[in-house]
Structure 1
């Protein structure tokens, strides 16, 4: 199948998908880097000062007191967790795109139910893959890429409203919609791929 303008649909999607996945990989790599500790350049003690300090410490050492332990840096580097999660919902694409309240309420209900198993975590980057087929209902018919993109974007825009504590505020840079042309996926399915912060 070819898109308008003679471009192959699969190649067009692969390019955008590759670009976004590359962005995620870069974020994970940058977030995983641990900066090297820089030594604190202090004044170099003279031989006489060092000898005097050692002699004083030896003479006044209190065996009943133990030295205080040096606090260790237990903080972990920030960034995205490379382990992702995926949830799926299924709605009437036309109702959701039109902004009908019943469809919006159903999206909120399904999303709330699906993310319960990730309670306590916060999504940092989200990709929504929508499927809308030319045949009504079921998994028959070819994928309508334009409507699928519109449907996925509509879902992406509503996610922060459905679960504001779980999803970041909507931005095309961190919550993005795409079409999914996979075989056997029922029309109206939206697969939500979740990327979490390291904890």
Structure 2
């Protein structure tokens, strides 16, 4: 095979590889889809046939069967809710008790509207501006992580135990957000 024909083969093979990868992705997505089901039929028991006889019987006062609710589809609710808090980011990262208390108070007020629910997954987006007014991504990450670590201690019944897989801090690089702001995105399980 000469050099010229090898060059023509590479784009041809790359195109087929791309098409094969795309096909695999489509199959995985379609395979992960769940068929919609009727919730009313899932919760109502199907009628059971009863033997009929020519003699009439009086109804017995025995126990009646009650339908047991079946669990719906699992997973995270795609609609997120958020809480926004604001405190001195540098003091919180340094371990200031006053900054932690301020944050705990704001978080408690923020989760009040979600009583009876428990967060399943939490993302914290922190914003800290640097000397020139631009967002400092390193300090923003440190601030978001400090907020994320404190959440389970502030509201242990609402937030899951701290784990970077469940509660994670990120920086928010939007320049129009006030420095020291943390947006806490909450994901709940489907009901």
> Which TM-score applies when normalising by structure 2?
0.67
Distance 1:170 1:82 in 2: 22
- 2:135/2:175 contact within 8 Å kept: no
> What's the counterpart of residue 69 of structure 2?
74
Say which is worse superposed, 67-76 or 125-134, in terms of deviation: 67-76
> What's the counterpart of residue 103 of structure 1?
99
CA shift, 1:73, in A, is 4.2
Closer, same or farther: CA 96–32 of 1 in aligned 2, 3 Å: farther
> What's the counterpart of residue 181 of structure 1?
173
Distance 1:125 1:85 in 2: 11
Distance 2:190 2:87 in 1: 31
Structure 2 unmatched ranges of 5 or more: 1-28, 43-50
Closer, same or farther: CA 196–30 of 1 in aligned 2, 3 Å: farther
SS in 1 for 2:144: helix
Partner of residue 140 from structure 2, selected from 129, 143, 148: 148
> What's the counterpart of residue 21 of structure 2?
none
Distance 1:32 1:80 in 2: 17
Q: CA-atom RMSD, angstroms? A: 3.1
Structure 1 unmatched ranges of 5 or more: 1-25, 38-53
Number of residues of Structure 1 aligned to a counterpart in Structure 2: 148
Q: How does 1:1-199 map to 2 (within 5 A)?
A: 58=53, 61-65=55-59, 71-77=66-72, 78-135=74-131, 141-199=133-191
- 1:93/1:188 contact within 8 Å kept: yes
SS in 1 for 2:53: helix
CA shift, 1:30, in A, is 8.5
> Which TM-score applies when normalising by structure 1?
0.65
Q: Which consecutive aligned stretches of 4+ in structure 1 deviate over 6 angstroms post-superposition?
A: 29-34, 66-69
CA shift, 1:150, in A, is 0.7
- 1:31/1:79 contact within 8 Å kept: no
Closer, same or farther: CA 198–157 of 1 in aligned 2, 3 Å: same
CA shift, 1:193, in A, is 0.1
Distance 2:65 2:100 in 1: 54
- 1:86/1:193 contact within 8 Å kept: yes
